[in-house]
Amino acid sequence: MTTPPTDGLLFEVAPPPTPVERLMLLADQYVAHNDTLDRLLRAGSQSEPDAYVASAQRLASATRTAIKAVTDERLYESHELSDAVVRLQQLAFLSSASTDHRLPMARTLTALAPEAAMSCADSIAHEIRRRRWSTTDAPDHQLTATQRTALWEIACGHVVATRSLGRQYVHYRDERVLIGTLRSLEANALAERVPNSASSAYTGGPLQDRVRLTAAGTTALAAAISRPTTARPPGTTPAPAPTAATTATRSH
């Protein structure tokens, strides 16, 4: 019997997302879910609750998966880590509970989920920075402070884009995001627009384009917040500062 060649059977498998990346992807899922509910509310949809139950159930499952990914890291049990896990457990509960409510209340229960998931991602990244030295290679895209801020706002679901009279506009909620910044992120394949996916800004208005992170954008932002703030070789610690008594002795 002839053994088939193995060359065609080999393929590159993408590594699984890190816990921080997984939480950012979770935030993106919540943004898309909330956008769907907003469109249903504006359209006065009568198809509830079936229109969003399956999505909410998937979110609850994805949140529990993210919790397991965090606990599998076996980080030191700090207050910040405990709080992040509790917030994620609350998200899973609220997502599951939203399936028992009609559309307006279901939307309320997941309203703050994207920001909560991103806050947890930041907390987990901070704990990893404190407990370990990151040996991750530098990402392909070195972010400027402006780009990093814009990516964070996008990940939280705070940025949409519109067109009017041939001009493009960016609408943001907290930190300022300029159209030039968005274009630079798009040019580097770090962000993208999803046409007509976000609710209109006013009753009867046109749908807006949700701006979201690409896979590369998620990786770049996760690396940026996970990277140690000081460049110190792995395995080394700074020399302890001299005590007041030692300093006083040497001054004589």
197-206: pLDDT as tens digits: 999 988 889 9
What is the reported pTM? 0.83
SS3 per residue for the chain: CCCCCCHHHCCCCCCCCCHHHHHHHHHHHHHHHHHHHHHHHHHCCCCCCHHHHHHHHHHHHHHHHHHHHHHCCCCCCCHHHHHHHHHHHHHHHHHHHHHHCCHHHHHHHCCCHHHHHHHHHHHHHHHHHHHCCCCCCCCCCCCCHHHHHHHHHHHCCCCEEEEECCEEEEECCCCCCCHHHHHHHHHCCCEEEEEEEECCCCCCCCCEEEEEECHHHHHHHHHHHHCCCCCCCCCCCCCCCCCHHHHHHHCC
pLDDT above 70: residue 138: no
35-49, 108-122, 167-181: which range is least confident on average? 35-49
